[in-house]
Amino acid sequence: DEENDGTFQGTPLSEIANICQHPPTLSDMKDIRDNNHTFLIKPFKYDPNSPDREPEPFYENGTYVDEWDQDYVRLPCSQSYITKNGTQRWPIIQGSLTKLQHLSETQMAAMEDIKETIEECAGRKYEFNCLERLLNEIYSGDERGHFMSTVLSNLCSLALNVDKICSRPPPLLRIGSNRTVTMSQKQAASLLACAFFCLFPRRFNQKIGSEYENYPNPNFNTLFHGGRSGGPTWKIEKLKCVFHYFHRITEKMPNGVITFRRYQLPESCVPKWTESKEPLCEIHITKNKSIEDVTGLLQVDFANKYIGGGVMNEGCVQEEIRFVICPEMLISLLLCEVMKPNECVFLIGCERFSSYRGYSTSFEFRENYIDQTPKDSWGRKLCHVVAMDAIAFYNRATQFKLPQMKRELIKAYTCFRIPAAVTDKKSGVVTGNWGCGAFNGNKQLKAIIQLIAASQAGRPLAYLTFRDQKLVDSFYEVYEYLSNEKATVKDLCAYLQCYADLYKKLPLFDYILQTSVASLHS
Ligand code: AR6
């Protein structure tokens, strides 16, 4: 046990404020009169004594509301979804999916049938080598049989009933909108079934000037694409994770609730960094844990500004792995426009379904994962994740320039900050080498930037070094030094400001250890 094996430094994790011990107090859903919060479900209260109760879809006037514009997800079931010939697309989709469902239930469908269905629904051609390799070569006969009959039939039914299950299209979380959407896990499942069949219109084209140029593509077409090799092994493993989720929801549909919340830091809340006397936050530093294993703290997703990053392609680092083991997070690709430097997205309540081993090219689906995270009074798992996108540094020297340091600080603060209205105890944040893998950042710099942001937000910081014992010790040495110096946020900012001219000479931690707080301001 890490708590006792001496590999961590700082405050023990068990002493860091945790939302599972102190669940946040939430207003009743029915009392929320917030134009920026859309509920796809009727007001729902979770009662731990009747855990099987399901949230119900919210119907405006008893029927499906057909919104079809730039503020809403364009659902395939809309009457306004028209083919080039001017006919409605939904009846075509219904025809194809019903045929496939019938096949899967009577004689078991084949890869070709899935391919035909998807192409018929979209009215375009795709390449499916990765899907094909998984289904026809890698799955055992039993796995394949189960997928091609039971699971596939359920996916057809979830997609065919998207209008009934979702009751209306979710709003898009557009730039600057501060919008929030709350839905049931079943509604998310229905939307993901639509993504499996690549049913979301206009999302394939991300060319400049096209409607969805600033959005990721939530459809699975690129995930199925494998090229001549059938796709790299880790991409197949990602598919296995997502299909495991489909398998699980086919056995038993989860009955919880999830929320996606886009947040923009108001201009008036940008701290005066160089005047701030906030003290250093508490810290826990350790090397063997993974962010997704630390329940009850705000977990950081090392995101792309296009949320999900390479999850639908070949990407397989922290964000992509998180999204395939918790596939409900993929709904964010459907909802979220690109994130600006002063924005972030919270993913609340998403369930984890798979365990894994390896990382990046060695990534593998391991086995079923039972997520024991308790629920809040809305029926959401007490799992709070924030998508925090760093700058991708092609030239590593750029990150030490002031505008870049400031941008990263604002981003981290936007993610860590707790709105003044929230009176609950401030839970910790769990993060690590944010921006220091695919995005090429400097670990020492990012550690200090995140320390400043967490201190300003008044939240404890759990910092996972991803097996780097040297970083555990060196970061803690610097933290202790700063704490002895009684350094505050403004002092930390002063260190960074001076360091902008010194980065070529020595590492940031060395510079801090050699420089007293008093000398910074003299
Ligand atoms: N828990 C703790 N630390 C981790 C974990 C984990 N589960 N996984 C990785 N690390 P990276 P970035 C450490 O490269 O540089 C994606 O494509 C490990 O030391 O995922 O911000 C996104 O979509 C790793 O090297 O994040 C973006 O496009 C480091 O964290 C892009 O990558 C950084 O992980 C973001 O790249």
Residue entry with tokens 């709070």: 384
254-281 mean pLDDT: 97
The H or E element that residue 311 is part of is none
- C-alpha span between 39 and 143 (Å, rounded): 36
State the catalytic residue, choosing from 113, 237, 301, 328.
Answer: 301
pLDDT (0 to 100) of residue 108: 85
Give the pLDDT confidence score for residue 31 in this predicted structure.
92
302 lines ligand 1 (CB under 6 A): yes
Choice between 374 and 207, residue whose per-residue pLDDT is larger: 374
Distance (angstroms) between ligand 1 centre and the Cα of 396 equals 16
pLDDT-derived band at 421, boundaries 50, 70, 90: confident
pLDDT tens per residue, range 110-168: 999 999 999 999 999 999 999 999 999 999 999 999 999 999 999 999 999 999 999 99
- Catalytic residue among 132, 319, 389, 408, which? 319
pLDDT (tens digit per residue) in 159-198: 999 999 999 999 999 999 999 999 999 999 999 999 999 9
What's the length of the chain? 522
Average pLDDT over residues 344-372: 98
- For residue 321, report the distance from its CA to the centre of ligand 1, in Å: 9
Is 319 noted as a catalytic residue in this protein?
yes
Ligand 1: which atom is nearest the Cα of residue 308?
Answer: 23
Which residue has the CA at smallest separation from atom 24 of ligand 1? 437
Distance in angstroms (rounded) separating the CA atoms of residues 434 and 441: 8
Closest to 200 measured CA to CA, from 79, 73, 324, 337 = 73
Q: What atom of ligand 1 comes closest to residue 390's alpha carbon?
A: 21
Residue in 381, 158, 156 with CA at minimum distance from that of residue 253 = 158
432 Cβ below 6 A of ligand 1: yes
Instruction: Among 234, 302, 322, 471, say which to mutate for ligand 1: greatest number of ligand atoms within 8 Å of CB.
Output: 302
Catalytic residue among 113, 320, 376, 491: 320
Confidence of residue 309 (pLDDT cuts 50, 70, 90): very high
- Pick the range with the lowest mean pLDDT from 14-23, 204-213, 464-473: 204-213
Q: Which amino acid residue places its CA nearest to atom 28 of ligand 1?
A: 304
Give the pTM. Answer: 0.98
Q: Please provide residue 314's backbone torsions phi and psi, each rounded to the nearest 5 degrees.
A: -100, 0
In short, whether 291's Cβ falls inside 6 Å of ligand 1 is: yes
Q: What is the residue-wise DSSP string for 130-169?
A: HHHIIIIIIS-HHHHHHIIIIIHHHHHHHHHTHHHHHSSP
With beta carbons less than 8 A apart as the criterion, state whether 446 and 408 touch. yes
- Which ligand 1 atom sits closest to the C-alpha of 467? 19
In one letter, which amino acid is 94? Q
For residue 245, the model assigns a pLDDT of 99
Other CB atoms within 10 Å distance of the CB of residue 36: 14
